[in-house]
Structure 1
Amino acid sequence: MNELLVLLPILLASGVIAGLLAGLLGVGGGIVIVPMLYHIFIYLNIDITVAIPLSIGTSLSTIVVTSIMSARSHHKKGGIDWDLTKRWIPLVIIGVLIGSFSSKYIDASTLKFMFGILLVVVSLNMIISSFKSIIIAKQLPGNFGQSIFGLLLGGFASLLGIGGGTLMVPLLTLFSYPIHKAVSTASIFGLVISIPATIGYIIVGWGAPNLPVGSTGYVNWIGFIALVPMTMIFAPLGVKLAYRLNVKQLKVAFAVFLACVGVKMLLV
């Protein structure tokens, strides 16, 4: 408990960074929160078999609150594609359930490796998309193809502790989907993914040994309480800064940082 309180400023700082980047660059907080929580838990001498799912579950719990705020804002502006949302929701939820409960049977080192791969892929996409639009088709595939997308989105997002935006926005824009509508629609899926996924990580981690104080299953509420207010306060500031700073250069710099973190998670 004393060690967690000592690390409270780091948790608060993580929330600030996650909020700023979410507003400034449009990246989901989970992409920042998971690796930060992982390193904090490892510092506390929590075994990797607990540290990885605990980082993912706690990240998903924070996304519940932040995605509610984001979805409300986008709904007021009329940017959400409700037709696509209704088509994808059932498949995404099925994917979330598969991903959440699969985490119990996937080795923690494998999860860490998968997250490292995700960081590297996301960073490469951010760098390339900063200079050139990548489009592979003029429209989304048919119902079968979109069903596969929904399953994979829910599965990977819940398995790795990220919201919908990190995967959904790049995916939709590959098919000529308007970027503003992709961001708005992804905000709803952050909520669709995070609620059942958080419950799943609580159930899967229930009674797990060596959990730190303040944990219910694989969700640590001390981390939740420290992170959520900071992300909610600083995300709007990030949006304001986006209109004043050179976002392209910042995006590339952040992508390089993500790639370094990803490589570290792959190798160490």
Structure 2
Amino acid sequence: MTYLIYLLLGVFAGTLSGLFGIGGGLVIVPTLLFCFKFLGFSAENAIHMAIGTSLSIIVITASNSVYSHNKRGSIDWKVVKRILIPLIIGTYAGGLVSSKLSANFLEIVFSVYVVLVSIKMFLDVKVDKAQKETSTLLYSIVGSIIGFKSAILGIGGGTISIPFLSWRGFPMKKAVGVSAALGLPISIVGTTSYIISGLKVSGLPEQSLGYIYLPAFFGVILTSSFSAHLGAKLSHKLPQDKMKKGFAIFLSIVAVKMIFFS
């Protein structure tokens, strides 16, 4: 049963990664948390393992998404380079902080975050077509926040990077492409920090590598690769205003799930 959930989760997460430039963690984390609790993992370890495993899965989904978006010319690598170093620093710091936070606190933070982002997207669906000049300082501040938040919540960063880039006047397809590219270093650094911090913890389930649960990792990535390419293809066929509204609807569904059904 749990392996079937992992396979279906891979399809969903991969499609979201390609379509919206997000790692899929907003779906992966709560689903894995449900599975891990069902399997009898301790409450304290389950959320950390869901987040760590989510980040390891995003390494694969983001890689496929980046390949597809780059092939279609939708990644502005100059912007990626301006954000990269602060992003990596923030991600590593977030991974270290997360390992010291309680399970209940992490679940509350995750739920509140999803609610706030879904509301923000609903209230701001207007597409600004004029791209604004953005300073390196602003890119650095936002990059460090994206990395820190992503490592703590186990997500790819698109829920901040896409609204930010849209605000700066980037077309939705370009914002999605840059977000996909940022998700790769976030997931690599975040995964590394969760492996390192988890190696010091006793009582983790068998077949774990730190806070990464390997059966879930392999189950999800079996179907996520193809789905990421499909999602990227769809993103280039949809009008950007509809993509933005669709992203807002997706976040609101996750928010309801986290609040009422977790």
Give the TM-score range, shorter chain: 0.7 to 0.9
**Given that residues 61 and 219 in structure 1 are in contact (C-alpha distance below 8 angstroms), is that contact kept between their aligned partners in structure 2?**
yes
**Given that residues 22 and 238 in structure 1 are in contact (C-alpha distance below 8 angstroms), is that contact kept between their aligned partners in structure 2?**
yes
Q: Distance in 2 between matches of 1:189 and 1:9?
A: 29
Tell me the secondary structure at the aligned position of residue 168 of structure 2: coil
Residue 60 of structure 1 pairs with residue 55 of structure 2 = yes
Matches within 5 A, 1:145-184: 145-184=138-177
Q: Distance in 1 between matches of 2:246 and 2:173?
A: 20
Q: Distance in 2 between matches of 1:175 and 1:56?
A: 30
Cα gap change, 1:173 to 1:220, in 2 (>3 Å): same
Residue 217 of structure 1 pairs with residue 210 of structure 2 = yes
Structure 1 equivalent of residue 250 of structure 2: 254
Tell me the secondary structure at the aligned position of residue 117 of structure 2: helix
Q: 1:93-139, CA deviations, whole angstroms, 9 ceiling, x for partnerless residues?
A: 11011001111222221111111112112322343345x3479x962
Cα gap change, 1:263 to 1:247, in 2 (>3 Å): same
The farther-off stretch of 15-24 and 221-230 is 15-24
Structure 2 equivalent of residue 128 of structure 1: 123
Q: 1:196-230, CA deviations, whole angstroms, 9 ceiling, x for partnerless residues?
A: 11010000011423322211110011001000121
Q: Distance in 1 between matches of 2:39 and 2:73?
A: 45
**Given that residues 101 and 200 in structure 1 are in contact (C-alpha distance below 8 angstroms), is that contact kept between their aligned partners in structure 2?**
yes
Structure 1 gaps of 5+ residues are 1-5
Matches within 5 A, 1:232-247: 232-238=225-231
Q: 1:179-205, CA deviations, whole angstroms, 9 ceiling, x for partnerless residues?
A: 221111112111111111101000001
Residue 185 of structure 1 pairs with residue 178 of structure 2 = yes
Structure 2 equivalent of residue 196 of structure 1: 189
Q: Distance in 2 between matches of 1:140 and 1:37?
A: 40
Q: Distance in 2 between matches of 1:163 and 1:127?
A: 20
**Given that residues 116 and 264 in structure 1 are in contact (C-alpha distance below 8 angstroms), is that contact kept between their aligned partners in structure 2?**
no
Cα gap change, 1:69 to 1:113, in 2 (>3 Å): same
**Given that residues 151 and 190 in structure 2 are in contact (C-alpha distance below 8 angstroms), is that contact kept between their aligned partners in structure 1?**
yes
Tell me the secondary structure at the aligned position of residue 107 of structure 2: helix
Structure 1 equivalent of residue 2 of structure 2: 7
Q: Distance in 1 between matches of 2:118 and 2:221?
A: 24
Between the two proteins, what is the percent identity of the paired residues?
37
Cα gap change, 1:185 to 1:27, in 2 (>3 Å): closer
Cα gap change, 1:196 to 1:255, in 2 (>3 Å): closer
Q: 1:26-64, CA deviations, whole angstroms, 9 ceiling, x for partnerless residues?
A: 543111100100111112222222111100110110111
Structure 2 equivalent of residue 3 of structure 1: none
Structure 1 equivalent of residue 42 of structure 2: 47
Deviation at 1:254, TM superposition (A): 3.1
Tell me the secondary structure at the aligned position of residue 73 of structure 2: coil
TM-score, length of structure 2 as denominator length: 0.87
Q: Distance in 2 between matches of 1:27 and 1:141?
A: 22
Q: 1:50-88, CA deviations, whole angstroms, 9 ceiling, x for partnerless residues?
A: 111100110110111121121122222222222222221
User: How many residues are aligned here?
Assistant: 259
Residue 69 of structure 1 pairs with residue 56 of structure 2 = no
**Given that residues 28 and 166 in structure 1 are in contact (C-alpha distance below 8 angstroms), is that contact kept between their aligned partners in structure 2?**
no
TM-score, length of structure 1 as denominator length: 0.85
**Given that residues 20 and 237 in structure 1 are in contact (C-alpha distance below 8 angstroms), is that contact kept between their aligned partners in structure 2?**
yes
RMSD: 2.7
